Chain A
Amino acid sequence: MTLAFDLILCLMIVGTAAAALLTHNALAAIVFFIVFGNLLGLAWLAMNAVNVAMAEIAIGAGITGVLLILTRQRLMALGDDLISAETPGWLRAGAVLACTGLTALVGSAVLSVAPADDLGGPIAALLPELGIENPVTGVLLAFRAYDTLLETFVLLGALVAVWSLAPGNAWPRPPASLNLAESGGGSVAQAFGRLLLPLALVMAAYLVWAGSDFPGGAFQAGTVLAGGLIIAAIGGAVAWPRADNSILRAVLVLGPGVFLIIGLAGIALGRFLFYPPGFAKAMIVAIEYSLALSIGATLALLLAGRSVAPDHRS
Chain B
Amino acid sequence: MPTLMHLYPLTGAALVGLGLYGIVTLRHPLRQLLAVNVVGAGIFLILGGLGRGTASTDPFPQALVITGIVVAVALTAFGAALVVRVAEEERARDDTAAVEATGDSA
Contacts and interface: CB of A to CB of B under 8 A. Distances in A.
Contacts of A70: 80
A273 B18 CA distance: 40
Given A3-B4, A115-B52, A158 B77 contact: yes
Nearest to A86: B27
Most A CB contacts (10 A, CB to CB) among B13, B19, B33, B35 go to: B13
A49 B48 contact: yes
Contact of A136 (B66, B77, B84): B66
Interface in A130-159: 135-136, 138-140, 143-144, 147-148, 151, 154-155, 157-159
Given A14-B11, A92-B25, A103 B16 contact: yes
Given A21-B18, A64-B73, A30 B34 contact: yes
Interface string B36-71: 011001001110111111111111101111110111
A10 B69 contact: no
A229 interface: no
A306 interface: yes
A117 B81 contact: no
Nearest to A116: B53
A184 interface: no
B26 interface: yes
Given A33-B34, A116-B51, A154-B74, A78 B87 contact: yes
A252 interface: no
Secondary structure at chain B's binding surface: helix, strand, loop or mixed?
Answer: helix
Contacts of B69: 52, 55-56, 59-60, 219
Given A82-B28, A91-B24, A136-B63, A60 B72 contact: yes
Given A60-B73, A68-B34, A139-B62, A103 B28 contact: no
A13 interface: yes
B88 interface: yes
B81 A110 contact: no
A271 interface: no
Contacts of B14: 14, 103, 107
Interface residues of B, number: 74
Contact of B74 (A60, A79, A155): A155
Interface string A58-81: 011001100110111011001110
Nearest to B15: A17
B62 A155 contact: no
Nearest to B75: A158
Contact of A139 (B21, B46, B55, B63): B63
Interface string A154-185: 11011101100101000000000000000000
Nearest to A217: B66
A51 B63 CA distance: 8
Contact of A14 (B18, B55, B70): B18
Interface of B: 2, 4-22, 24-28, 30-31, 33-35, 37-38, 41, 44-46, 48-60, 62-67, 69-78, 80-85, 87-88, 91
7 contacts: A20-B38, A49-B48, A85-B28, A103-B14, A115-B50, A118-B58, A143-B60
Q: Which A-B residue pairs are the 10 nearest by beta carbons?
A: A117-B53, A103-B17, A158-B74, A135-B59, A139-B63, A21-B22, A302-B77, A106-B13, A71-B80, A85-B27
Interface of A: 3, 6-7, 10, 13-14, 17-18, 20-22, 26, 29-30, 33, 36-37, 40, 43-44, 46-49, 51-52, 55-56, 59-60, 63-64, 67-68, 70-72, 74-75, 78-80, 82-87, 91-92, 95-96, 98-100, 102-103, 106-107, 110-111, 113-120, 123, 135-136, 138-140, 143-144, 147-148, 151, 154-155, 157-159, 161-162, 165, 167, 217, 219, 295, 299, 302-303, 305-306
